[in-house]
Amino acid sequence: MILIKVLFWLSVFLVVYAYILYPLLLILLDRLNPVREPIFASRMPGVSVVIAAYNEEKHIAARIENLLELGYPRENLEIIIASDGSDDKTNEIVRSYEAQGVKLFAHPERRGKVNALNEAVPRASHAIVVFSDATTLFEKDVLKNLTRNFQNEKVGCVCGLLRFVTAGGTRSGELEGVYWRFETMLKRLEGGRGALLGATGAIFAIRKELFIKLPSNTIIEDFVLPMKILERGYQVIFEPEAVALEETAKRIVHEKARRIRIGAGGFQALSLLGPMLNPARGFPALAFWSHKVIRWCVPFFMMTAGLTNLILIHEPLYFILFLLQCLFYLMALVGQALSWTHIYLKTFSLCYYFVSMNVALFLGFMRFVTDTQKVAWDRAER
């Protein structure tokens, strides 16, 4: 029974560590050793914005217009749309902007985002490459605020701030926003130490010279590419003044496929980023283990905590803990049922959001081990 109790409390501790103790550790480190704000010279270097798109006829024109209206010097701005087998009007719309310097790299077959980027980035003209999505909109000065960080030669990748705009006032969007604000806090604290773990595909920039062609089956390239740059000894930082906007999914369930894909990609990334797990790398390794590896394993810790608690249920303390676990999952079920009727009570909905997120991670793991996760992406309904 001692081993069962150890497994129970270790599982509980790791869940609490991933979501509570590690964030508190980051806050403490920030208080004890605050990061100084850098001073930048006013420069606007050449930038190539690369967007991989598949059947984005509803959004691509607005996306291009948004980039053209940023006020960045046209002679220093290259816009590349890598159309990955689009068979709607996406290519036709992009071609209508060719006179304004927009380039279309179209491939006749859909191969997945990573392959579209592998082909497009080497053809970019400028030394700094900015990645984004067709459904994202940049606020003013995004390119200026991203690129200024490369004045520091140690910086290899810069991730901007993605803000979610609630879809039609839906409460599910608010829940995603709550979780995203939590993640943004972690990005700020980790990025301040040059060890931001991955990037947001909607808004990040790299030195073109550091780009490497990723394996054609890479699922979450916006995580692996920055991590490979971090692995090479460069800093990966967060720039909160480079702001992009994106609409949230209309309902929590609409994000399920995206989360499953991220889960599968996370476990795949472990096989690609082995050196980053070495504790000798210091803070980057600590962050990788704490923010990613342990969190990806939370579904297994939750299952272990439930099963071991059931075995120990004959003891009064564990009987109470088992009831609390049952109550938590019951609240999650109620939150799910309420979401079907578009009713959102914050406590119930947060429980549902947390459980659904970890169910998606588990399903992602299953897709990884069975090699059934497609490389091509399917955007959540917005």
Give the 3-state secondary structure of residue 193.
Answer: coil
pLDDT at 217 over 60: yes
What's the one-letter identity of residue 285? A
Q: What is the per-residue pLDDT for 172?
A: 47
Q: What is the mean pLDDT of residues 167-174?
A: 51
pLDDT at 171 over 50: no
- What's the CATH number of domain 1-382, 3.30.380.10, 3.90.1300.10, 1.10.10.10, 3.90.550.10? 3.90.550.10
- The structure tokens 């082909």 sit at 119
pLDDT, one tens digit per residue, over 353-376 is: 899 999 999 999 999 999 988 887
Q: Which residue has the higher pLDDT, 47 or 101?
A: 47
User: What percentage of the chain has pLDDT greater than the value 70?
Assistant: 93
pLDDT at 327 over 50: yes
Q: How confident is the model at residue 79 (pLDDT cuts 50, 70, 90)?
A: very high
**Cα distance between residue 247 and residue 245, in whole Å:** 7
Contact 244, 163 (CB under 8 A): yes
**Cα distance between residue 153 and residue 6, in whole Å:** 47
pLDDT, one tens digit per residue, over 328-341 is: 999 999 998 887 88
Tell if the pTM clears 0.75, that is, is over it: yes
Q: How confident is the model at residue 168 (pLDDT cuts 50, 70, 90)?
A: low
Q: How confident is the model at residue 380 (pLDDT cuts 50, 70, 90)?
A: low
Q: What is the mean pLDDT of residues 166-186?
A: 68
CA neighbor of 171 nearest in space, from 381, 380, 361, 340: 340
**Cα distance between residue 217 and residue 80, in whole Å:** 22
Q: Which residue has the higher pLDDT, 27 or 378?
A: 27
Average pLDDT across the chain, whole number: 91
pLDDT, one tens digit per residue, over 231-249 is: 999 999 999 999 999 886 6
Contacts of 338 (CB under 8 A, 6+ apart): 344, 345, 348, 349
CA neighbor of 135 nearest in space, from 334, 310, 380: 380
User: What percentage of the chain has pLDDT greater than the value 90?
Assistant: 79
| Terminal C-alpha separation, the chain | 49
pLDDT at 379 over 70: no
Contact 103, 214 (CB under 8 A): no
pLDDT at 381 over 80: no
CA neighbor of 47 nearest in space, from 114, 99, 121: 121
